[in-house]
Amino acid sequence: VVVDVYSQLVAEGWLRGRPGSGTRVAMAAPFEASPPPPAPHPAPCFDFRAGVPDVAGFPRTAWLRSTAAILHDAPASRLLYPADQGLMELREALAVYLGRVRGVLATPETIVVCAGVAQGLHLLAEELTSAGAAPLAIEDPAQRRERDLITATGLELLSVGVGDDGLDTDRLVQTDARAVLVTPAHQFPLGVVMGPDRRADLVVWASRRGGLVIEDDYDAEFRFDRHPVGALQGLAPEHTVYLGSVSKTLAPGLRLGWIVAPRPLAERLARRKQQDDLGSPALDQLTLAHFVESGSYDRHIRRMCQRYRERRNALLSALALHLPGAETSGVSAGIHVLVQLPEGVDEDRVVEAAECRSVRVEGLRQHCVSARRPPALVLGYASLTPSAIDEGVRQLAAAVGDTLVSAH
Ligand SMILES: Cc1ncc(COP(=O)(O)O)c(C=O)c1O
């Protein structure tokens, strides 16, 4: 036993034996103390970053009910790898929901379940790259993360400006792009809605050029003054890839989204998704299907819509009170507002000065490529209570004042 123990410890590197001299405890590799990690940035007291929903309002009880129902009823086979396009239960529920709420023309065969809009875009960009596609046109400004994600696949991007009624389709027609990424229901970050003429132009462009419109419908459920415009996909389903997710409606951490695409393309995207990760988590897919079909999703969205309307109003009132020189633009929708800074104010310096006052805000410039736009902030308001919004904007106004004082 002793000999066995010794040889095992030698084999594992704990002991070192040399013939003719005894067995010794192996010297451990000198321990190099790594420098302590930098102290994490203290969380800001007022986080106005765009696109962050109120996850404190996540419908835990209703979600738990759906999870319990699924765990009780779902056959064991549902815990195997999901079908390439996602579980049929969820695709059926989404086809009905998206048709009813967004006017999307979808069947379960044209839907691919994915890990949010980000993965949908990534799969699509890879598909376009491998098909040797011409450059992809993208709005300028556009969500910077999305632009970076697409560029990383090697797909060339071509920026097209955005006006008060959405993408400059006259400019698009002059380019050699064969695909275009748009946010028609609520442009990110400007907050405008694509007008009917622009929508019609896009449909004509797509059918004449055999082009593809990629519609990012990231926050369309939240429109506060009227019904949201229907999805563009409903006008040209054969030329549109529609992307959506629960990131704004429920929680971004769920990483659940969907692609609606013409069937052959949907199948190709599903194969790519399958090669990437063998499918999105089955239990979450089933739970979401149950959550949608039981009406809990509609109820939750109605509740959040009310909450976000109040918060948006609180933001507008606080801006009018504390920063009267700032103007907002965009329609009454979504979970962010574009705030034009008063003349002569430097956007980057305001972002820095606000951080010093524990207010986190994002400038517009990071989302712009070539469009030169006046200084502005993209303010998210969904995760802050009305009183926090008021105090946060008061601090933001003070930060704007700080930059003016230091400039003189
Ligand atoms: C323009 C835009 N599209 C889509 C998304 C959502 O992405 P995902 O569904 O991957 O969470 C966001 C989130 O911030 C966004 O700003």
Ligand 1 centroid to Cα of residue 225, in Å, is 23
DSSP conformation letters of 281-304: -HHHHHHHHHHHHTTHHHHHHHHH
Ligand 1 centroid to Cα of residue 405, in Å, is 37
- pLDDT tens per residue across span 316-347: 999 999 999 899 999 999 999 999 998 889 99
Ligand 1 atom with the smallest distance to the CA of 119 is 10
Residue 44 pLDDT? 83
For residue 121, what are the CA distances in angstroms to 19, 117, 220, 304? Answer: 63, 6, 18, 26
pLDDT-above-70 percentage for the chain? 98
- pLDDT tens per residue across span 275-312: 999 999 999 999 999 999 999 999 999 999 999 999 99
Residue 181 pLDDT? 98
- pLDDT tens per residue across span 183-198: 999 999 999 999 999 9
Q: Prior bond to 38 cis, omega within 30? A: no
Band of residue 315 on the pLDDT scale cut at 50, 70, 90: very high
> Which residues make beta-bridge pairs with 356?
none
Ligand 1 centroid to Cα of residue 252, in Å, is 8
Residue 30, pLDDT > 70, answer no
Separation between Cα atoms, residue 118 and residue 296, nearest integer Å: 25
Ligand 1 centroid to Cα of residue 217, in Å, is 9
Ligand 1 centroid to Cα of residue 300, in Å, is 19
List, chain by chain if needed, residues with CB within 6 Å of any ligand 1 atom.
51, 116-118, 143, 183, 188, 216, 218, 245, 247, 252, 257
Residue 408 pLDDT? 62
- Residue whose CA is closest, atom 5 of ligand 1? 218
Phi-psi region of 103 (alpha: psi -120 to 50; beta: other; left: phi over 0): left
Band of residue 32 on the pLDDT scale cut at 50, 70, 90: low
Separation between Cα atoms, residue 231 and residue 216, nearest integer Å: 10
Average pLDDT in the 165-183 region?
97
Strands 157-163 and 136-140: parallel
Ligand 1 atom with the smallest distance to the CA of 257 is 9
Residue 344 pLDDT? 86
Residue 407 pLDDT? 66
Average pLDDT in the 108-119 region?
98
Number of H helices, E strands in the chain: 12, 16
76's CB contacts (< 8 A; 6+ apart) are none
User: Pocket of ligand 1, candidates 117, 188, 258: which has the most ligand atoms within 8 Å of its Cβ, to mutate?
Assistant: 117
Ligand 1 atom with the smallest distance to the CA of 121 is 10
- pLDDT tens per residue across span 74-85: 999 999 999 999
Ligand 1 atom with the smallest distance to the CA of 188 is 1
Average pLDDT in the 252-257 region?
98
Residue 263, pLDDT > 80, answer yes
User: Pocket of ligand 1, candidates 162, 186, 247, 284: which has the most ligand atoms within 8 Å of its Cβ, to mutate?
Assistant: 247
User: Pocket of ligand 1, candidates 55, 123, 147, 188: which has the most ligand atoms within 8 Å of its Cβ, to mutate?
Assistant: 188
Ligand 1 atom with the smallest distance to the CA of 183 is 1
Say which range, 56-70, 101-115, 290-304, 394-408, has the weakest mean pLDDT: 394-408
Residue 219, pLDDT > 90, answer yes
Separation between Cα atoms, residue 213 and residue 224, nearest integer Å: 26
Average pLDDT in the 187-213 region?
97
Ligand 1 centroid to Cα of residue 37, in Å, is 30
- pLDDT tens per residue across span 148-169: 999 999 999 999 999 999 999 9
- pLDDT tens per residue across span 12-22: 888 888 777 88
Residue 40, pLDDT > 80, answer no
Ligand 1 centroid to Cα of residue 123, in Å, is 15
74's CB contacts (< 8 A; 6+ apart) are 286
DSSP 42: P
Separation between Cα atoms, residue 366 and residue 168, nearest integer Å: 20
- Residue whose CA is closest, atom 4 of ligand 1? 218
Separation between Cα atoms, residue 113 and residue 246, nearest integer Å: 11
- Residue whose CA is closest, atom 2 of ligand 1? 218
pTM (two decimals): 0.91
Ligand 1 atom with the smallest distance to the CA of 52 is 14
- Helix or strand holding residue 98 (H, E): helix 88-102
Separation between Cα atoms, residue 82 and residue 337, nearest integer Å: 39
Q: Which residue has the higher pLDDT, 113 or 22?
A: 113
Evaluate whether 288 touches 58 at the Cβ level (below 8 Å).
Answer: no
Ligand 1 centroid to Cα of residue 25, in Å, is 56
Separation between Cα atoms, residue 122 and residue 112, nearest integer Å: 13
Ligand 1 centroid to Cα of residue 81, in Å, is 26
- Helix or strand holding residue 213 (H, E): strand 212-216
DSSP conformation letters of 324-344: TT-EEES-SBTTEEEEEPPTT
Amino acid, single-letter form, for residue 257? G
Ligand 1 centroid to Cα of residue 145, in Å, is 9
Band of residue 213 on the pLDDT scale cut at 50, 70, 90: very high
- pLDDT tens per residue across span 96-107: 999 999 999 999
